[in-house]
Amino acid sequence: MEFPDHRLLVFAKAPVPGRVKTRLAGYLGNIGAARLYRRMLWQTLEMAVGADLCPVELWCAPTRDHPFFRRCRRELGVSLHRQRGADLGARMAGAFSEALGRARGALVIGGDCASVDGTALRQSLGWLDGGVPAVLGPAEDGGYVMLGLALPAPGLFRRMPWSTARVLPLTRRRLRASGLAWRELSMGFDVDDPASLRRLRRLRAAQGKDSVV
């Protein structure tokens, strides 16, 4: 394990039909969208655990009790943690605060961020390990697919207009205002609509990997 003093925090919702990948439900149906989310989360965790870079933690919502989460712990060896907070920002701030109480640095990714791979994780952890305070993985939709911190920075998350194109520029502005130097990965993308799902299928085919659906 290259970075045992760091943590990878994978944020995930219970794969309940009608509660995940709702923008794809019209294309795949509620059950199909939940199945896609479950498979993407499993593949993300397999990738992260297989890279053997640092301990992997699955941060679960609304609780840790869903059978799929328990399977992830049993078969992949990830630890389970409950997200706490009124909104995504509070939940992320809390997770970082807790993780950084026992680690030198932490990365947060979503369980369905298919554009994040082992190379991106290694690069980001290397930056944090080398003394960079923050790492940002920008997304094409104006958000981000990854955030890494070497110290808690709750101001990055307060009153953030999540799920809008303002997230990325606001995060950069807040990092700058906080005096935190940061490094950025190349642009990534989320899989939230039929076009991005087709893009992911093409990408995985080109890489010789199994499709997500």
pLDDT tens-digit profile of 31-66?
999 999 999 999 999 999 999 999 999 999 999 999
Query: Which of 137, 52, 213 minimizes the C-alpha distance to 204?
Result: 213
Residue 153 above 60 pLDDT? yes
Confidence of residue 202 (pLDDT cuts 50, 70, 90): confident
For 129, the domain range is 6-206
Is 114 inside any structural domain? yes
Is 1 inside any structural domain? no
Three-class HEC string of 83-149:
CCCCCHHHHHHHHHHHHCCCCCEEEEEECCCCCCCHHHHHHHHHHHHCCCCEEEEEECCCCEEEEEE
CA distance 152 to 106: 10
Stated as kind and residue range, the H or E segment containing 21 is: none
Confidence of residue 71 (pLDDT cuts 50, 70, 90): very high
Is 212 inside any structural domain? no
Give the predicted TM-score (pTM) of the model: 0.95
Is 10 inside any structural domain? yes
Is 106 inside any structural domain? yes
Residues written for the chain: 213
**CATH number of the CATH domain containing 124:** 3.90.550.10
Is 47 inside any structural domain? yes
CA distance 57 to 45: 9
CA distance 103 to 13: 24
What mean pLDDT is predicted for residues 11-19? Answer: 97
Confidence of residue 190 (pLDDT cuts 50, 70, 90): confident
Residue 213 above 60 pLDDT? no
Is 11 inside any structural domain? yes
pLDDT of res. 83: 98
Is 211 inside any structural domain? no
How is residue 160 written in tokens?
A: 């953030």
Structural domain total, the chain: 1
Roughly how many angstroms between the first and final C-alpha of the chain, as a whole number?
31
Whole-number average pLDDT of the chain: 94
pLDDT of res. 203: 78
pLDDT of res. 212: 60
CA distance 103 to 4: 9
